[in-house]
Chain A
Amino acid sequence: MDPKLAEVSQLFERFKAACAREDVDTCCNVLSKLKVLLTGFSSLPPLFEDTPNAIHELTLARDIYEHAVLLSVKIGDQDAFERDFFQLKPYYTDASSSRLPPSSQEYMILGLNLLRLLVQNRIAEFHTELELLSSTALENPCIKHAVELEQSFMEGAYNRVLSAKQTVPCKTYDYFMDLLAKTVRDEIAGCSEKAYGYLSVSDARQMLLFSSDNELLQYIKEEQPEWEIKTGQVIFQKAKESASCKEIPSLQLINQTLSYARELERIV
């Protein structure tokens, strides 16, 4: 076997061992070394040269990046996730169609990426990524979970989102689900503010998923200073009745009429 390849494989084994031991620092160090070594192979993207060991190298590189992605989830580094995922993507789209056998973790990682986009509220990119998936991919439970989550989020059925936390297809999703819970809480607070005139403290606590009244009070103090708490009820600030509806917005009307006059004059 090619000596470079052998070296990389050995290092990769050490990396996997460190991951199993949950030794994050060693993992990161070994990973950077692996990435540097990978640049030595010319069969990888973006060159995609056809060397004799191409398939082996491609598979190995793909495995390394998959582990890198999972590591970034473990340490909670979203930027690293994004970087590693972008490097992994060509292996799924370009290389797989021609030469490599499909990876077992492909769908899980694609689902993770969708979830990440959802958590970061990048819905446009979420949908763009969704377009790239084939119909077989959409049937896969990991991806289906993310898609349904997005739907419930859009519709506003937040309790469904929170209950979906119990039904994650794989454990690695937990990190993002926790982040999602926080986003959901902010959303629920926003909606309740507009929808309800007031809520009893116990109801508010239940809806916002706090385990005690104190947490609720602290949350209100920090995040929502406009809410008042009176006699066991949380009163949301009603929209200020604007008395200005009696006024005529003169500036706006003047601007509009002037523009009409100008345009009409232009008509020869």
Chain B
Amino acid sequence: MTQDVEMKEVPAPSNSTASSSPSTFHHLKEIASLIETGAYAREVRRIVRAVRLTMALRRKLKAQVLSAFLNFALTPGSEPHNRLASYLPKEDEHEMEVDTATSVTQTPVKHPLPELEIYCYLLVLIYLIDQKKYNEAKACSSASVARLKNLNRRTVDVLASRLYFYYSLSYELTGDLAEIRGNLLALHRIATLRHDELGQETLLNLLLRNYLHYNLYDQAEKLRSKAPRFEAHSNQQFCRYLFYLGKIRTIQLEYTDAKESLLQAARKAPVAALGFRVQCNKWAIIVRLLLGEIPERTVFMQKGMENALRPYFELTNAVRIGDLELFKSVAEKFSTTFSSDRTHNLIVRLRHNVIRTGLRNISISYSRISLADVAKKLRLDSANPVTDAESIVAKAIRDGAIDATLDRANGWMVSKETGDIYSTNEPQIAFNSRIAFCLNMHNEAVRALRFPPNSHKEKESAEKRRERQQQEQELAKHIAEEDDDEF
């Protein structure tokens, strides 16, 4: 198909845009050809690469470039093209910047591949979301999801999973997440039927996010426990899954599991994902406080996170000192931050930990102390602090938080001597857990080495073919003899 080229003499100031948009357009065309080859050869990894390159181009997308690309990839006047073009703002015709050089040499696309069509949907959707046109993004994404239901090709899966993500994002940004819950569930079913593992992963994460957005932890856990699980295909999806899992476990009071998941998510997340890591760290800090351990100062001083983590730093301070008054004042001071982070209920649970830490400090520092003094130091504000202190200390002793005995007749608490710990088995047990962890990590790293699937089959034949061709050439060049087929 030939394209009408309209070149306009651009005035000097917009020269910079003229120079950048051809290269963006050029890149987009490269990506399109990459997708084509990937689709024809059924190599999913090329499509993954194409998506990755697109993300790099994200900031440079402009309406003109997109229209030009749409004209290039889809036949203008066809139904998908019209639908997609309607989402882009109408630019004046004569401002369309098209590179003359490339337009002459471009090879027309005979019939648009479904992959290419979905890719165009993806581009338009990203552009609309970046331009903050959320309502149009909603409409576009719903249309794309409807289109995807008819396609059943593995090569489309990668693009499809990105599309689902933006679909959910556009609805979330307009506050309508509950609407699409049914759709997401149906899509998840379809993905499971088609053995589309990447799609399943993405959709499970989106569903969990949907439930957690509305605080429906119960339903989220029910879904998560019943959904099929397998080896993670995408690191980012796995990180998200760990984060949501950590959140659910925290609310369900399973702090050890939660801590593991959250710390793993924070570690595995790419360095560029600062917001995500900040969130993971916030929750991880609170879980560690709830477990009774104090996170080190370095956690709060990580690059780029100091401001966001400042309220949590002060909270940790209050818990560490074991001072109830300070804790209350910090909680009030930063209550807006905590409510927006939705960690407010967890902070309330921390009060118990503050008392425990205070008690522990007292028990270590005093060999014998009267209960009235304990109540005064803990600053328990209640009707009869001494009886309160007595019951609290009794419970702490039973839970193993402090090592002491109570003497009711005299009304004091006697701390036990802490024996020499190195003569017991404690160090061995601690070492063992660390060794087991390191060995586990080594095993997981080995398992995580990924080789492209079917590589041993394909590559061999391709290699052997290449080898054979090379040998044929050599034979033909140097020795004027007949080729004999090697195999």
Judge whether B397 and A195 touch: CB under 8 Å.
yes
How many Å lie between the Cα of A122 and that of B442 in the bound state?
39
How many Å lie between the Cα of A192 and that of B428 in the bound state?
33
How many Å lie between the Cα of A232 and that of B450 in the bound state?
73
Judge whether B392 and A127 touch: CB under 8 Å.
no
Judge whether A191 and B382 touch: CB under 8 Å.
no
Judge whether A156 and B432 touch: CB under 8 Å.
no
- Closest chain-A Cβ to B357's Cβ sits at a distance in Å of 13
Chain A residues with Cβ below 8 Å from B329 are: none
How many Å lie between the Cα of A256 and that of B425 in the bound state?
13
Judge whether A127 and B391 touch: CB under 8 Å.
no
Kindly state whether residue A237 has any CB partner on chain B within 8 Å.
no
Q: Closest B-chain residue to A159, C-beta based?
A: B387
Chain B residues with Cβ below 8 Å from A256 are: 428, 432
Judge whether B216 and A156 touch: CB under 8 Å.
no
Partner of B406, one of A132, A158, A187, A195: A195
Judge whether B355 and A128 touch: CB under 8 Å.
no
Q: Closest A-chain residue to B382, C-beta based?
A: A160
Judge whether A128 and B252 touch: CB under 8 Å.
yes
- B residues contacting the other copy or chain, number (CB 8 A): 43
Contact with A along B98-139 (1 / 0, CB 8 A): 000000000000000000000000000000000000000000
**Given contact pairs A128-B218, A131-B215, A151 touches B253 in the complex (Cβ within 8 A):** no
Kindly state whether residue B267 has any CB partner on chain A within 8 Å.
no
Judge whether A194 and B355 touch: CB under 8 Å.
no
**Given contact pairs A127-B251, A131-B251, A151 touches B351 in the complex (Cβ within 8 A):** yes
Kindly state whether residue A37 has any CB partner on chain B within 8 Å.
no
Q: Closest B-chain residue to A147, C-beta based?
A: B348
Contact with A along B377-407 (1 / 0, CB 8 A): 0000011100110011111111000001111
Kindly state whether residue B439 has any CB partner on chain A within 8 Å.
yes
How many Å lie between the Cα of A131 and that of B408 in the bound state?
40
Chain A residues with Cβ below 8 Å from B395 are: 155-156, 158, 187, 191
Kindly state whether residue A267 has any CB partner on chain B within 8 Å.
yes
- Per DSSP, chain B at the interface is helix
Judge whether A196 and B252 touch: CB under 8 Å.
no
Contact with A along B324-360 (1 / 0, CB 8 A): 0000000000000001000001001101100100000
Chain B residues with Cβ below 8 Å from A188 are: 391, 394
**Given contact pairs A124-B252, A160-B388, A195-B406, A249 touches B393 in the complex (Cβ within 8 A):** no
How many Å lie between the Cα of A158 and that of B352 in the bound state?
14
Kindly state whether residue B143 has any CB partner on chain A within 8 Å.
no
Which residues in chain B, 20-66, are within 8 Å of chain A measured between CB atoms?
A: none
Judge whether A156 and B253 touch: CB under 8 Å.
no
- Closest chain-B Cβ to A116's Cβ sits at a distance in Å of 16
Which residues in chain B, 441-473, are within 8 Å of chain A measured between CB atoms?
A: 442-443
How many Å lie between the Cα of A151 and that of B443 in the bound state?
43
Judge whether B394 and A192 touch: CB under 8 Å.
yes
Q: Closest A-chain residue to B396, C-beta based?
A: A156
- Closest chain-A Cβ to B3's Cβ sits at a distance in Å of 52
How many Å lie between the Cα of A160 and that of B391 in the bound state?
10
**Given contact pairs A131-B217, A256-B432, A151 touches B394 in the complex (Cβ within 8 A):** no
Q: Closest A-chain residue to B393, C-beta based?
A: A195
Judge whether A249 and B425 touch: CB under 8 Å.
yes
- Closest chain-B Cβ to A247's Cβ sits at a distance in Å of 10
How many Å lie between the Cα of A163 and that of B387 in the bound state?
12
Partner of B253, one of A124, A158, A195: A124
- Closest chain-B Cβ to A243's Cβ sits at a distance in Å of 14
Kindly state whether residue A75 has any CB partner on chain B within 8 Å.
no
Chain A residues with Cβ below 8 Å from B352 are: 151, 154-155
- Closest chain-B Cβ to A135's Cβ sits at a distance in Å of 7
Kindly state whether residue A228 has any CB partner on chain B within 8 Å.
no
How many Å lie between the Cα of A222 and that of B358 in the bound state?
37
- Closest chain-A Cβ to B420's Cβ sits at a distance in Å of 12
Judge whether A196 and B253 touch: CB under 8 Å.
no
How many Å lie between the Cα of A154 and that of B409 in the bound state?
26
Judge whether B394 and A267 touch: CB under 8 Å.
no
Which residues in chain A, 116-146, are within 8 Å of chain B measured between CB atoms?
A: 123-125, 127-128, 130-132, 135
Kindly state whether residue A258 has any CB partner on chain B within 8 Å.
no
Q: Closest A-chain residue to B218, C-beta based?
A: A128
- Closest chain-A Cβ to B120's Cβ sits at a distance in Å of 38
Judge whether B428 and A253 touch: CB under 8 Å.
yes
Kindly state whether residue A17 has any CB partner on chain B within 8 Å.
no
Kindly state whether residue A197 has any CB partner on chain B within 8 Å.
yes
Kindly state whether residue B299 has any CB partner on chain A within 8 Å.
no
How many Å lie between the Cα of A124 and that of B252 in the bound state?
5
Judge whether B391 and A158 touch: CB under 8 Å.
yes
Q: Closest B-chain residue to A125, C-beta based?
A: B218
Judge whether B388 and A157 touch: CB under 8 Å.
yes
Judge whether B345 and A131 touch: CB under 8 Å.
yes
Q: Closest A-chain residue to B414, C-beta based?
A: A197
Which residues in chain A, 169-212, are within 8 Å of chain B measured between CB atoms?
A: 187-188, 190-197, 199-200, 203
- Closest chain-A Cβ to B388's Cβ sits at a distance in Å of 5
How many Å lie between the Cα of A103 and that of B316 in the bound state?
41
Partner of B392, one of A155, A194, A197: A155
Partner of A128, one of B251, B348, B443: B251
Kindly state whether residue A260 has any CB partner on chain B within 8 Å.
yes
Q: Closest B-chain residue to A126, C-beta based?
A: B253
How many Å lie between the Cα of A154 and that of B353 in the bound state?
10
Chain A residues with Cβ below 8 Å from B216 are: 132
Partner of A156, one of B382, B383, B391, B439: B391
Chain A residues with Cβ below 8 Å from B407 are: 196-197
How many Å lie between the Cα of A194 and that of B404 in the bound state?
9
Partner of B435, one of A124, A157, A158, A260: A260
How many Å lie between the Cα of A127 and that of B254 in the bound state?
12
Kindly state whether residue A245 has any CB partner on chain B within 8 Å.
yes
Kindly state whether residue B424 has any CB partner on chain A within 8 Å.
yes
- Closest chain-A Cβ to B184's Cβ sits at a distance in Å of 18
Q: List 15 A-B contacts (CB under 8 A).
A: A127-B253, A127-B349, A128-B218, A130-B345, A131-B217, A131-B345, A151-B348, A155-B351, A194-B394, A194-B398, A195-B397, A253-B428, A256-B432, A263-B443, A266-B443
Interface contacts beyond A127-B252, A195-B404: sample of 5 additional A-B pairs, CB < 8 Å, sorted by A: A151-B351, A194-B398, A196-B406, A256-B432, A260-B439
